[in-house]
Structure 1
Amino acid sequence: MRNSEPSIWLLILLAAVVATTPLAIDMYLPAMPMMAGELNSNIGLVQQSLSIFLAAYGCGMLLFGPLADMLGRRPLAICGLGGFIIASVALSQVSSIEWFLGWRALQALAGAAASVVVPGIIRHLYQQHTAKGMSYVSMIMMLAPLIAPAMGSGIIWLANWQAIFLFLAAYGVLVVAFSWRFLPEITSDRGQQRPAFFSGYIKVFRHKAAWPDIASSMFASFAFFCFLTAVSFVYIGYFGVSEQMFALLFGFNVLALMSANLLNSRLVVRFGPQRMLRFGLVVALVCASFLCGFNYYGLGLWYTVFTIAPLMASLGLMATNADAMIIMQFPQHSGTATAVIGTLRFGSGALAGPLLAWFFTGDALPFSVLMLLGVLAIAASQLWRRAMHSKKQAAELA
């Protein structure tokens, strides 16, 4: 066990590595209409770039998770950041939507290579208090989606949409420079031989005790991406707020997520990740139910705003603690476990867009119903976990 916690600067660096993904997702959202015109495309194809990014990111996690266990975390992170820089520069130079979609997929793959290493490093640094470390990193990382839409709007006001991707490239250069200097290499805890590529997946998928927590993480992400995909339409298109007010409302939800991670970092050592997850689940069930009711009866903007904020906070609380419990079960395969989490998370996120389009009614009800279904699925996963635990106890007593 480690005698002291890692420095705040290392946590900031780990959060900066992970933040490449939310920055790449959120910064270009305000520029989508402008991009559609300049790339001679329609807004639907530009919006599809988000689903392509999420799908490619999930595939990248599957590929690079085992490689992190095999080759080491530091070299993979640096190579991934290098690829992210190259793809970002290329995205600033494209002149057709086809090239844009292709480079977005490569940008996502590179981002996956960089970010897949972080949970394994946190697990090594924090040991049994992994949930606390992940809360700290998540709290710092949440600054990225908090400021990304406003930054994107500011950049296109001063320059053009291409400058957004040049900014992402510059950010990647800064992060890779600090990673080269300060990112530690984490070796196997017991000095064991590094695993083969598929052995980690076999171990993770055979470990049935982790299945309910993996499902909980996946459904929490599905509910989150339902919000992320629909938020611009709900606030701007349906409730009619301005772009400036949208940025404030979006930031309010991110602040709620950050507050939840701060609360978790203070309480999880005392109460444990399982109890914190259940607390988040209770809050989420109440808020998601109220959200559906408010939108069913067509109540005003602020009913949705003040219900969404605690719902988003509870989703963050559940996802962080579920991820920590999963990672702690696989000390020798943390990269592979992270890959499974990330693939299912972003794969379910990629489904949010098509489902919202399928159930589109012109109001805010479909996204709130889908979020409630995601929360109910988390509840079912935790009941499954309790049933498995009870069965195991009964078998031990027999």
Structure 2
Amino acid sequence: MNTPIPSPIVANSAKNPIRYLPLFAAISAVTPLAIDMYLPAMPKIAESLNTDIGLLQNSLSIYLFAYALGMFIFGPLADSIGRKKMLIIGLSGFTIFSLLVASSTTGDEFLIYRSLQAIFGGASTLVIPGTIRLLFGKDTVKGLSYVSSIMMIAPMLAPTIGGVILEVTEWRMIFYVLAMYSVVILLLCLRYFPDLEQKSISVSSFKQLYLASYNRILSNKRTRRYLIISMLASFTFFTYLTGISFIYITVFGLSESMFGILFGINVLVLIFANLTNAKIAVKFGANRMISSIWFIAFVFSSFLLMSAWRELDWIYLVLGLIPLMGCLMATIINTDTEILKEFAQHTGTATAVIGTLRFGSGAIAGPLLAFFYDGSAMPFAVLIFSGIILIGIVHFSRNNTVK
């Protein structure tokens, strides 16, 4: 296997890496836009395709699984053929299958094309963390935090954009808009994406490309610890995303507009948490930040659990959830930073492992909430509290102490 040799252009690009962050955020926004824009259209899609609404509701979990699969498939390939080539392949495939989703005539077609759309979405977004790692070096946590903060605008606006499109035309236009968006991003990437390509990692077999690549990541004890923490934090965060509309609207009887306001406030807090983490983690280190943030998360998750157990008013739930989600987002950024530090030459594979575990664990949040459903906020609070406790066990366990 050849040792990758950085391009001379890396040094020039790294002089002002912040200028690339809006483009990186726009690429990363492909997935939240694809997930959230069509949510208001689910009933109309079901009616148009003459299919059961329950089938379409499962499309979110299917999308997350397929997205994780895409990262798993394309991660080692990105290390082999180069980030920019993988980005072009991913955005091209995403565009094609967005158009095919729009042309679906049955529920089965819709789910198949959505799955393929997700797979290529994974191929396009997995190159961003590695590119940030190469550009920012020791300040990787800052780059990841800034991109995440900018990208947060997408899930905040996506349902509104989808709703506006539905007011003007039919649901298929949502996927035409997604296709147009990916084409614009593709053209911008061809012109402006930093040319940081390293000499391709030569591989002689499938075993060397996949098995050896993933074994390199998973056999690292220090990395395994951070991967587990990242997975648990992601599962806990997806539990919030999956269940919060039910909690606010069904359990507490809040209006859809109030739900939108509270969700928007939480997004703003997530942005604030990312920006704050970017400044502090550079000084104290990502690993130290994980420890400090966990204690804060434990306090607010305990408050959340007590609020649900005592059946307190919704405002107490909000006071526990909003800072807790900020802690989880910062934890995810910090664990990703520590993982990418270990594998500067194999960031595609490392990102694939992170993404596969993240979105794979996120996809089971919905089924678990449904299984424990009792009409109250208690299962929701218990799952979130359990996630925080497990993060603490993994992080502070003597058997997993980083030496």
Q: TM-score range with shorter-chain normalisation? A: over 0.9
Matches within 5 A, 1:125-140: 125-140=135-150
* Kept in 2: contact 1:147–1:251 (CA 8 A): no
Q: CA deviation at 1:41?
A: 2.1
Instruction: Quote the Cα distance in structure 2 between the aligned partners of 1:60 and 1:268.
Output: 30
SS at match of 1:197: helix
- Structure 1 residue aligned with 2:310: 297
> C-alpha separation between the residues in 1 aligned to 2:95 and 2:140?
30
Correspondences of 1:76-225 after superposition (within 5 Å): 76-188=86-198, 193-194=201-202, 196-198=208-210, 199-225=212-238
Which AA in structure 2 matches 1:57? Answer: Y
CA distance in 2, matches of 1:55, 1:152: 23
Equivalent residues of 2:395, 2:401 under 8 A apart: no
CA distance in 2, matches of 1:380, 1:333: 28
Partner of residue 395, structure 1: none
Point out where structure 2 has 5 or more consecutive residues left out of the alignment.
1-9
Provide the aligned length of Structure 1 versus Structure 2. Answer: 388
Map of 1:396 onto structure 2: none
Root-mean-square deviation over aligned CA pairs: 1.7
How far did 1:268 drift? 1.3
- Tell me, yes or no, if the aligned pair for 1:256 and 1:313 is still in contact at 8 Å: yes
| Structure 1 match to 2:361 | 348
Give, in angstroms, the shift of residue 2 of structure 1.
5.5
Aligned match of 2:251:
238
TM-score (norm 2): 0.92
- Measured after TM superposition, the shift of residue 240 of structure 1 is 2.1
Residue number in structure 1 paired with 2:55: 45
Encode CA deviations 1:197-244: one digit per residue, 9 max, x unaligned.
122212111111111100010001100111111122112222222222
- Runs of 4+ with deviation above 3 angstroms: 1-9, 191-196, 386-390
TM-superposed deviation, 1:158: 2.3
Query: Given that residues 150 and 247 in structure 1 are in contact (C-alpha distance below 8 angstroms), is that contact kept between their aligned partners in structure 2?
Result: no
> Does the 8 A contact of 1:54 with 1:346 survive in 2?
yes
Moved more, 115-124 or 364-373: 364-373
Partners of 2:140 and 2:18 lie apart in 1 by: 15
Q: CA deviation at 1:139?
A: 0.8
Unaligned stretches of 5+ residues in structure 1: 393-398
Higher deviation after alignment, 17-26 or 2-11: 2-11
Q: Which residue of 1 aligns with 2:6?
A: none
Structure 1 distance, partners of 2:124, 2:201, is 23
Which residues of 2 match residues 318-397 of structure 1 at below 5 A?
Answer: 318-384=331-397, 387-389=399-401, 392=403
Question: Following the alignment from structure 1 to structure 2, what is the Cα–Cα distance between the partners of residues 365 and 134?
Answer: 33
Structure 1 counterpart of 2:251, one-letter code: Y
Q: Distance in 2 between matches of 1:210 and 1:220?
A: 15
Mapped to 2, the partners of 1:256 and 1:282 lie a distance apart of: 18
Q: Is the 8 A contact 2:21 2:147 kept in 1?
A: yes
Cα gap change, 1:194 to 1:331, in 2 (>3 Å):
farther
Q: What is the CA-CA distance between 1:95 and the residue it aligns to?
A: 2.1
Question: Does 1:254 find its partner at 2:267?
Answer: yes
1:31 alignment partner, one of 37, 41, 56: 41
CA distance in 1, matches of 2:31, 2:186: 14
Is 1:282 paired with 2:307?
no
Whether the 8 Å CA contact 2:68–2:359 is kept in 1: the answer is: yes
CA distance in 2, matches of 1:182, 1:146: 26
Partner of 1:313: 326
Q: Is the 8 A contact 1:15 1:137 kept in 2?
A: yes
Q: Is the 8 A contact 2:235 2:365 kept in 1?
A: yes
Whole-angstrom distance in 2 between the partners of 1:193 and 1:115 = 20
Segment drifting more, 33-42 vs 369-378: 33-42
Q: 2:294·2:327 contact (CA, 8 Å) conserved in 1?
A: yes
Give the AA of the match of 1:359: F
Name the aligned partner's letter for residue 351 of structure 2. T
The residue type equivalent to 2:368 in the other structure is L
For residues 230-278 of structure 1, give each alpha carbon's deviation from its aligned partner in whole angstroms, at most 9, with x where no partner exists: 1221122222222222222111111111111100111111111112222
Aligned partners of 1:2 and 1:126 also within 8 Å: no
Whether the 8 Å contact between 2:99 and 2:175 is mirrored in structure 1 is yes
Instruction: Judge conservation of contact 2:70–2:123 (CA < 8 Å) in 1.
Output: yes
Aligned-partner residue type, residue 67 of structure 2: Y
TM-score (norm 1): 0.93
Deviation sequence 1:74-93 (CA, Å, 0-9, x none): 01101111111111111122
CA contact (8 A) 2:17 2:135 kept: no
Deviation at 1:280, TM superposition (A): 1.9
